[in-house]
Amino acid sequence: MFPVKQRSDVASLRQAVQALSGRVALVPTMGNLHEGHLTLVRHARQVADAVVVSIFVNPLQFDREEDLQAYPRTLERDMALLEAEGVDLVFTPAVEAVYPESMDSHTRVEVPGLSDIFCGASRPGHFVGVATIVCKLFNMVQPHCAVFGKKDFQQLLIIRRMVRDLAMPVEIIGVDTVREADGLAMSSRNNYLDEAERARAPALYAALKRTADALRQGRRDYAALEAEATRMIAEAGLKPDYLGIRRAGDLAEPGEGDTSLVILGAAWLGLARLIDNLEVEL
């Protein structure tokens, strides 16, 4: 196998992408790769002829400087994993290549409404940072499609809305959440958990599952279900951030006749902020 090609500036990236043949898929990441990321890469390989992976810890989407500095950076290991997966090209820009001027004066992309609830309410400005970097990556790479995990369900909807509203010629593909054997959604932030915290962490998924089962059994008292799940999470030793039952297409409050729902939850456990969701078809 040939070594995976790595590019760190936009000009050489575009030149390398132009040399690829056929349909190009982009998998944006912040590195510290795990099986969840590699599942996205494998799916990208199935839907495209060439796969580009970006690794960039985006400062614009962090609301706390200490969180940005603590985010694990494992580039050498990541490159080895991507080479083993047969990735065609890896884009690893420095901050200066993405934001050549001050970030304070940089043009930003905002998806109003969807960006202001749940994770957006807990992390002000986060989704502006996400939408901005994804928009920039789409312009830099110019892929035919891009693959994202459904674990970040709100993020996926925001990106789809941005692509629709800005008429971007990029197909957005969502891939089901990859989980550990006990149900915990795979995440780079799981590395922050100590042994005791890791044992409690699946409680978030368990609360989502119980809520989903209740919905399938006919309950529609959404506020009561949300309160019960929140208590379940807290009693397991996590600090709930939010838990909501929403319409899957746009995260609006569910109404009579809505059959495609999503249960979204987030909770703090030690230094880790866990997020997860479950889609429910009624």
What phi and psi values does residue 56 have, to the nearest 5 degrees? -155, 120
What whole-number distance in Å separates Cα of residue 127 and Cα of residue 28? 15
> In this structure, are residues 203 and 276 in contact, taking their beta carbons and an 8 Å threshold?
no
Which residue stretches of 99-221 are H helix? 119-122, 126-141, 153-165, 195-200, 203-216
Which residues on adjacent β-strands are paired with residue 172?
146
Task: Let me know if 37 is a catalytic residue.
Answer: yes
And the tokens for 97?
């290549």
Among the listed residues 37, 43, 126, 144, the single catalytic one is 37
> In this structure, are residues 48 and 144 in contact, taking their beta carbons and an 8 Å threshold?
yes
Q: For 156, what's the count of Cα atoms within 13 Å in the CB-facing half-sphere?
A: 23
And the tokens for 201?
């962490």
Cα dihedral 83/84/87/88 (nearest 10): 50
> In this structure, are residues 279 and 269 in contact, taking their beta carbons and an 8 Å threshold?
no
> In this structure, are residues 241 and 274 in contact, taking their beta carbons and an 8 Å threshold?
no
Q: Which residues carry out catalysis?
A: 37
